[in-house]
Structure 1
Amino acid sequence: CPVPKVATKTLLNVILYIHVRDLINNLNNNWTNIDNTKAKIERAINISKFIEELRAHGVIIPEQEKPKSLLEFLHMYLNILQFGQINKNFPSRLINPWRLSFTFSFPYFRLQNLSSLSQIFSSSFTRTIFVRHPFERLASAYKERIATLSKDRIEPEFEYDEIRMEICYKRITSTKLRQLMLLKDSCRSIIPSFEDFVRYIILATYVPNGIARLNFHWQPYSTLCQVCKFQYNFVGKYELFDEDFPQFLKHFNITNWNIEKRNGPSGLMKWDYQKYYITLPNDLICQLIHLYNDDFRLFKYKVHDYIVNRTGLLQNCHLIKTSWKEM
């Protein structure tokens, strides 16, 4: 269960590599493990279209190197995922495979072919999760998804534009002013404060199944990845990525992976995330602690790594009553 930010920038590329590698193995040796419905779609795949999409993203693929079958294409794609190029003779720029439409075209394995789904929970299956400190993850989600407008993004993400506007409208108590803002579409360019963002999240948890319906960028791992149910036997941490990731590669027998080519590192330091919590009211911090309590407990994270100079806060959280019901 990889999750942003380490997921989209690094780990999912490796998991996609493992998936494609397993597809090749099953296409060669055990076709029954490939979903038949998906397989029919695969036969109609326009490989030339996929090649053009890769070229449009900066991957050099000469005509004489074009694959002629799905199997050849998958072998070529493995090299692109691992080395960023089809081979050493044609250097290309790194790509983000999650911006490629064909990433979602590959067939899935049929888990139903297992004698029992309980096999997934056996020691012969590796159940992997990479986690990040809940408060750093939340601050990062705010900075990258909410505090960054569409015009400043590489690609627009309309879902977060809608969230940003929803927070803005809810902060306007006057009905007339809200209607005026709506008509002028003024909220589209207003970045809500981190405090307003946190209030928006907390309020969303008050409805039935609210936590399970939170956006996956800030939904607790315990819910998003069903931590207690899956009993992950490989747990990596974003903070220890340089130590845990090589162990992950070794476990799956992946060699020559360039660990240094992590896509899009932010370059931010711990303080860049700590500062978001400096002015956050105690009642909101307490509610965040409650929301992410299982993540703190299961992955041994400490609140005081990001909440500083709040002596006695943890002891008093159960005494603090929220002074607001709605934004």
Structure 2
Amino acid sequence: MNDFAKLISLVFVFTAPKYLEQQRLRKDLLRKHCAGVNQSLFNLNNIDLNNLIVDDQHGIIYCYIPKVACTNWKRTLIALKQNEPYPDPMSFKSNMVHKFDRFRLLKHYSMPERKHYTKFLFVRDPFVRLISAYRDKMLNYDQYFYEGYVRVILQRYKNQKNVPVKYNGTKRTYLKPSFHNFVQYIVDPRTEKYAPFEPHWRQMHRHIYQKYDFVGHQESLQEDARQLLKMLKLEDAIKFPPSYENMTSGNSVMEWFQGVPIEDRRKLYKIYEKDFQLFGYRRPTELLDD
């Protein structure tokens, strides 16, 4: 880069709106860590494409990551499929928005049809996301999570005997793993050896490919959503649902990890280290260093 080009770059940094510079840094970070990785829309298999939702009318491809505002983004995309004026996204019940038949997925398109649409995703502090997954799926489990995960964790790490095989619709205190039990399950080498992580705690980088036009963060969800809708020229047509108080805040992370031995914390960090690096989240030294 010559001196003039460097000067222009510096002028952009100091004069561009804050969110543009923020987006540049987030996308540069992804490109830096994904350098040399041959992964694009044209060589992903159908399993990888399951979480890429396409909106042809508005030229959008949304890579959704569970436990990162994906319910409200799906609500918004469903609303955009209706006639104008678009309905309030919150009018769509949460238990309905995760049905695949409501969306056109990228896997439904042939190679030539995979056009250059505006591609976006939202990410979150990896440990905060993990705590949210624990609260939602280990403490408030349904049949799928009880029979597939809770029961295994209780038997393997809580040493509980005679755990009911079938889910009977009740959530008893003694049938709830501790957060440490959940961490033990994730860091156990046997867990991923026999099956991929469940999507709600699968590493975020495993949901994505590297070329995105917009990278949003859960921590600045409302502002990022506003800027994305503006970028899509939809800011006057639809409003992203409001955020409610987040019960899994960054400030509570230390409290959640109090019962987790430092050895397990470090193993857990290694599993999610790439997520911390790829999306610009700092290493939580207060949890990992003696």
Which TM-score band (shorter chain)? 0.5 to 0.7
Contact 1:140 1:273 (8 Å CA) reproduced: no
Q: What letter matches 1:308 in structure 2?
A: E
1:161 to 142, 146, 153: 146
Q: Are residue 286 (structure 1) and residue 266 (structure 2) matched? A: yes
2:138 to 124, 143, 146: 146
SS in 1 for 2:238: coil
* Structure (1/2) with the larger helix percentage: 1
Give 5+ residue unaligned stretches, structure 1: 21-73, 85-93, 151-156, 313-327
Written as runs of structure 1 = structure 2, the 5 A alignment for 1:213-228 is 213-225=196-208, 227=209
Contact 1:202 1:288 (8 Å CA) reproduced: yes
Q: What letter matches 1:257 in structure 2?
A: I
RMSD: 3.4
SS in 2 for 1:80: coil
Contact 1:128 1:233 (8 Å CA) reproduced: yes
Higher relative contact order (CA 8 A, sep 6+): 2
Question: 1:104: which partner in 2?
Answer: 101
Written as runs of structure 1 = structure 2, the 5 A alignment for 1:57-206 is 74-75=82-83, 79-82=86-89, 94-96=91-93, 98-99=95-96, 104-105=101-102, 111-112=109-110, 114=112, 117=114, 120=115, 124-148=116-140, 157-162=142-147, 163-171=149-157, 173=159, 178=161, 180-182=162-164, 189=172, 190-203=175-188
Give 5+ residue unaligned stretches, structure 2: 1-62
Alpha-carbon offset, residue 134 of structure 1: 0.3
Written as runs of structure 1 = structure 2, the 5 A alignment for 1:247-262 is 247-254=227-234, 255-259=236-240, 261-262=241-242
Contact 1:97 1:103 (8 Å CA) reproduced: no
Contact 1:131 1:237 (8 Å CA) reproduced: yes
Q: Take 2:166 and 2:117, find their aligned partners in 1: how far apart are those partners?
A: 55
Contact 2:150 2:177 (8 Å CA) reproduced: yes
Q: What letter matches 1:235 in structure 2?
A: V
Contact 1:165 1:188 (8 Å CA) reproduced: no
Change (3 A) 1:81 1:293: same
Contact 1:10 1:263 (8 Å CA) reproduced: no
- Identity rate of aligned residues, in percent? 21
Contact 2:75 2:92 (8 Å CA) reproduced: no
CA-to-aligned-CA distance 1:138-182 (integer Å, 9 cap, x gap)? 01111121122x5xxxxxx21222211111111365xxx73x444
Q: Provide the TM-score with structure 1 as the length reference.
A: 0.57
Aligned positions, number: 222
Question: 2:280: which partner in 1?
Answer: 300
SS in 2 for 1:292: helix
Change (3 A) 1:253 1:97: farther
Alpha-carbon offset, residue 114 of structure 1: 2.1
Alpha-carbon offset, residue 283 of structure 1: 1.4
Contact 2:65 2:207 (8 Å CA) reproduced: no
